[in-house]
Amino acid sequence: FFFTYKNPRTYPYFFMELIPTLPYDIGLECLIRVPYNNFSSLTSVSRNWKLQIELPEFWRRRKATGSTRQVIL
Q: Is the pTM of this model over 0.85?
A: no
Instruction: Count CB neighbours of 27 within 10 A.
Output: 19
Could you report the per-residue pLDDT of 13-49, keeping only the tens digit for each? 445 678 888 888 888 899 999 988 888 898 888 888 8
Distance from C-alpha of 34 to C-alpha of 27, rounded to nearest angstrom: 11
pLDDT at 24: 84
Which of 16, 35, 37, 38 is closest to 27 using CA atoms? 16
Residues 6+ apart with CB under 8 A from 42: 31, 34, 49, 50, 53
